[in-house]
A = this chain, B = another copy of it.
Amino acid sequence: MPLSTTEENYLKAIFSISTGGESRATNQLIAEKLGVNPASVTDMLRKLDEKRLIDYNRADGAKLTKEGFKQAVKTVRKHRLWETFLVSKMNFTWDEVHEVAEQLEHIQSDKLTDELDKFLGHPKFDPHGDPIPDASGKLPVVKSKPLPEADIARKLKVVSVTDNSTAFLKYLDKQGIGLNDSLVIKEIVDFDKSLLVELKGKKEVFLSKEAAGKILVD
């Protein structure tokens, strides 16, 4: 009756695709996110549909049911709490936590989840700026937009990053960009849309359009 690790990973993938701007969680997007073959996804989506955790059909893709949504949010909550734990108590850096949190998120113990939350002081955001659902599943609403869509010359704050890969996070470290840092767009280079950005009123750096698109600011 409890969900398997694999089922939890599928629900989480559907959740993140659906809340990440895409209009439909398609077979292909899910396959890509989980690194499995589309044929495997067909099997699992059918199974989750039978279990009433999603509604699935070719036209609309996969949509979480109430119960499926609840389960997905629960896993996301655990993932983000564990990431916070790893950084604030275990001396991990923000680029080291993802892999381990992928394992820890599947530990089944409501008591542990709630005690962990308490132990950490009921954090609202994880080390990547992602909101942490509370015990009832409520998510803090965050106002933010990708850096390339923000106003020029206005003082902005780094709210979160949408790519948690070690490669990207290490790159940000090297550029000197961290969560909650303030920055100002000085200029958008015409031919490649790269950004010239002033950091914390100090140094200036260039960011490619791709890199900047993964930084959310407000």
Contacts and interface: CB of A to CB of B under 8 A. Distances in A.
Interface of A: 86, 89-92, 96, 99-100, 103-104, 106-109, 111-112, 115-116, 119
A116 B185 CA distance: 41
**Majority SS at the chain A contact face:** helix
A96 B111 CA distance: 10
A109 B102 CA distance: 12
A91 B118 CA distance: 11
A7 to B, nearest CB: 16
Contacts of A104: 107
A91 B107 contact: no
A86 B100 contact: no
B119 A108 contact: no
A108 B100 CA distance: 7
B103 A91 contact: no
B107 A90 contact: no
A118 to B, nearest CB: 8
Contacts of A89: 119
Nearest to A107: B103
Which of A92, A99, A107, A112 is the most central at the interface, judged by chain B CB atoms within 10 Å of its CB?
A112
A92 B111 CA distance: 9
A111 B90 CA distance: 9
A192 B87 CA distance: 56
A46 to B, nearest CB: 26
Given A90-B111, A92-B115, 11 more contacts: A89-B119, A90-B112, A90-B119, A91-B115, A92-B112, A96-B111, A99-B109, A100-B107, A100-B109, A100-B112, A103-B109
A90 B100 CA distance: 19
A116 B104 CA distance: 14
Contacts of A109: 99-100, 103
